[in-house]
Chain A
């Protein structure tokens, strides 16, 4: 999966978790919390979706890496690089 594809996956997950939000103008370097109305349960949803869709595990000590789109993609790249989208 390329970096761009990982980003698309995250956007797809966010669209489900935050269906009222407009993600078109999301700034990748700004934290999700500053731009979107997300709480701790939503972040657990991101973790769960990654686990369900791609069997990617995000241990609790790594949650801080899901702060912004850029940090999330950077963190996930080594974990998802070898995965193929259907």
Chain B
């Protein structure tokens, strides 16, 4: 057990570090592009239209699908698969791994997802309508596209990875859950490399837009770039986004042995459950989750330099998270707090992973990116250290705490520290 032991006192083969990052976000297709957009205040949200729902807004990615896939593979697979394949290949390339000579049996794939299969099922039913619902026109591609392991499985097929692969269904806590699963498997010695994080194709299912709309939780704004506005008085819901972020995780001992670049070390994490409501969050459990992660990392709340919030732009969700954060960080005058969804919308299963990744460069540049679109801060969301509209620089960043929460009351918190 290493929980509760300060990171530097743990054995190197129990310390997990990030050595490669591959991502696609609505405002960038690499960490460098994405970080530049976050520092420049550039939104990735745009006008969007989807079957039955009509005109709305969304965060859409424009990565090159054919960089790592043939046309046939894109046609046969899913959007989540393509997002995953792009991110995984980029992460491996970024990590500088000698990929052809790596034992692919020692690589594991752990991909967080919010949902999977809705896109294909909706498309098939829509098409079947044209055949008067005669199921002999139902596609033989339906099952391999909709099995829950599909995005991870497509990565395995594309990269020839023969170690374990699966997805982790954890609603919008899934990105963090992917990291946690990867770290655990490395600690157990099950694999030597973990490709871990989260992906989302949710912008292609009308159901998620219609569902949020029926719930009164779908954002709208005359200017799409202003639609995602957590903490602002005029916030009116969620902007659905697609995206992905997968990292290469390794044991510190292995990373040191190959002289790897280290983005940061996963020093603590926690997951817990509200057990109170299908959709409404529970700030008490969220605060508990944050405290559990701090305890795991053997640090105090005041040691956290940046809190990357989960806030999605819903009235009650933002309020509840701020309440939880106030409980834990209320007296931490040095802790800064930001939000990435204000730039890219809610990337669902990818959200936690993308939101962490966008903050990691602060270990090097000392800048905390802002939360944008706060024209009038909701008093119920006031927090000391909230970085509003303009990035803040000039402080050394050692510790980032990343919140990711989801429906059915699933909470996840990940703590990453600068290494060295």
Contact = CB atoms under 8 A, between A and B. Distances in A.
Are both chains from one complex? yes
B78 to A, nearest CB: 14
A48 B139 CA distance: 8
Contacts of B141: 41
A48 B140 contact: yes
Nearest to A57: B136
B76 to A, nearest CB: 7
B137 interface: yes
Interface size class of B (residues with CB under 8 A): 10 to 19
A37 B76 CA distance: 14
A51 interface: yes
Interface stretch (B32-40, B67-75, B201-209): B67-75
A49 to B, nearest CB: 11
A2 B377 CA distance: 71
Contact of B136 (A18, A45, A51): A51
A51 B137 contact: yes
Main SS of the interface on chain A? Answer: helix
Contacts of B70: 20
B72 A52 contact: no
A51 B75 CA distance: 19
A19 B140 contact: no
B131 interface: yes
B74 to A, nearest CB: 9
Contacts of A20: 70-72
Contacts of A45: 140
Given A41-B140, A44-B140, A51-B136, A19 B76 contact: no
Interface in A30-54: 37, 41, 44-45, 48, 51-52
Nearest to A38: B72
Contacts of B140: 41, 44-45, 48
A28 B67 CA distance: 32
Contacts of A37: 72
A41 B137 contact: no
Q: Which of A16, A19, A37 neighbours the largest number of chain B CB atoms within 10 Å of its CB?
A: A19
A19 B65 CA distance: 14
A43 to B, nearest CB: 10
B419 to A, nearest CB: 42
Interface in B125-168: 131, 136-137, 139-141
Interface in B75-106: 75-76
Nearest to A52: B137
A19 B71 contact: yes
A20 B66 CA distance: 11
Given A16-B75, A45-B140, A51-B137, 9 more contacts: A19-B71, A19-B75, A20-B70, A20-B71, A37-B72, A41-B141, A44-B140, A48-B140, A52-B131
8 contacts: A16-B75, A19-B71, A20-B72, A45-B140, A48-B137, A51-B136, A51-B137, A52-B131
